[in-house]
Amino acid sequence: MTPVIRLNDVSLGWRDKPVLQHVSGQFNPGTLTAILGANGAGKSTLVKGIIHFLKPTAGSIDIDPAFRKELTLLPQLSDLDRSFPITTYELVAMGAWRRIGPWRQYGKAERARINHALEQVGLQAVADQLIGNLSGGQLQRALFARLMVRDAKVLLLDEPFAAVDEDTCEDLMRIILGWHAEGRTIIAVLHDVDRVKRCFPETLLLARQVVAWGKTAEILTEENLHKARRLSLGGF
């Protein structure tokens, strides 16, 4: 099986500060993988490397050519400028840009896709509101709707459950599991061990290096979790 993403002894960092070192492994097509670790473990840094926002300081990240245009990122809520004056509908509609470009009008099919995505996440009533007026949970639902419109085959989700209520977490998890059932490749940065055990078949456990990577039931042992806590700056 040709992997969607292969990591070849990858090291990543910011300026002269190393964050993550000597990561090797692969994400195969159709897998649902959690990247788990404490704050500072290098989880989001790895995602930024995969999406080419950050260049490796050593090693390489290979993307299967068939999937290079299929990678899409759900950013952390804290990375968004909520003061930008766009509506919920406009934010969700941005998912169509790869197909039609940012300046063309949306045709009937695209408008139907956008409205369906808003309906799926329960945001029809706030479609005309500015994103600055949305709660954290509503904004995350809008970002998930944008991914629905984007319709990519490889999804990188950076802290998809951060700063949202439990009902929203459960709704978003159902969406993720639905994407997985459709055969999409999903990589999610998380810190909730229990949720990973319940919902994610594969886990990459990080602590500035790979602690373990494979089937979740085999990776999230007390021994591996203890090692990850010991190697990290803080617990999780």
3-state secondary structure of 55: coil
Is position 236 within any domain? no
CA 217/CA 228 separation, integer angstroms: 16
Write down the pLDDT at residue 81. 86
Write down the pLDDT at residue 233. 63
Is position 137 within any domain? yes
Residue 34, domain extent: 5-231
For the chain, 236 residues long, the average pLDDT of each consecutive 10-residue run is 96 89 98 95 96 95 95 91 93 90 80 97 97 95 97 97 92 98 98 96 97 98 95 68
Select from 69, 75, 107, 108 the least CA-distant residue to 91.
Answer: 75
Q: What are phi and psi of 109, to 5 degrees?
A: -65, -40
Is position 163 within any domain? yes
Write down the pLDDT at residue 86. 96
Is position 104 within any domain? yes
* Cα distance between the two ends of the chain: 34
CA 43/CA 22 separation, integer angstroms: 14
Write down the pLDDT at residue 80. 86
Q: What are phi and psi of 75, to 5 degrees?
A: -75, 165
Structural domain count, the chain? 1
Is position 81 within any domain? yes
- CATH code at position 152: 3.40.50.300
